[in-house]
Amino acid sequence: MSLFDLTGKTAVVTGAGRGLGEAIALGLARAGADIALVTNQTPADKTAAAIRELGRKAITIQTDIADRTKLAGIIDRTVDELGRIDILVNNAGIIRRTPAAEHSYEDWQDVLDVNLNSVFLLSQLAGKHMIEQGSGKIINIASMLTFQGGINVPGYTSSKHAVAGLTKALASEWAAKGLQVNAIAPGYMSTDNTEALREDPVRSAQILQRIPAGRWGTSQDLIGPAVFLASSASDYMNGHILAVDGGWLVR
């Protein structure tokens, strides 16, 4: 199992204050990594304390990743306080639900700033350190709407399609430099982003009927895939979009 050991590695996880990001951060820490927890409004003090109880180091960075001027500080502080950066998990994301004909430019731009622009810029900043050290893992969080169109979410769908393209573009450039860039595409997960869907009895039933596993995914379902893509076990994987969807795409 040493292939999955992350001892001595340092990971940055965005959107780490709750949900999928919090679970991924804790999972990486259990595998041995020190963690920089990046959040916007949700404090991550409890998560940091839990990581320290595991014997790992943890720092919290509360900032607005939609503001591109703040992103270099995330990477700089991680390197300054934790010594290096080996893993970047671009998990933070937002969604705005409005019919396309009524979707405001502000909603469109807000989603792209968080879901796409921050992913590129943080990958670029972290990638420079990783290229210099000759190794690194970047894990982007895609979506089922990386493959499909969705309903009333044109900005989100566009951003998640673009995340797949960016993942492949960076993988193509950086594989020879010792980096692996991949993405996880979660299925329909029980998170804040899907609360409206889960509370709609008709839409929720339609979704569950299509999932072969017969349930909504949970944050715990992403821990194994994240540790795998962050570890040496995935050293020959590059540019892959790993669906963790209960079988949604095969039905």
Which residues form the catalytic set? 156
**Short-list 221, 220, 240, CA closest to 229:** 240
φ/ψ (deg, to 5) at 173 = -80, -35
**Is residue 146 within 8 Å of 166, Cβ to Cβ?**
no
d(CA 176, CA 158) in angstroms, rounded, equals 29
- As a whole number of angstroms, the distance between CA 19 and CA 115 comes to 16
Maximum pairwise Cα distance, the chain: 52
Q: 10-34 as b/e, with b when 16 or more CB fall inside 10 Å?
A: bbbbbbbbbbbbbbbbbbbbebbbb
Tell me, letter by letter, the H, E, C secondary structure of 156-190: HHHHHHHHHHHHHHHHHHHHHHCEEEEEEEECCEC
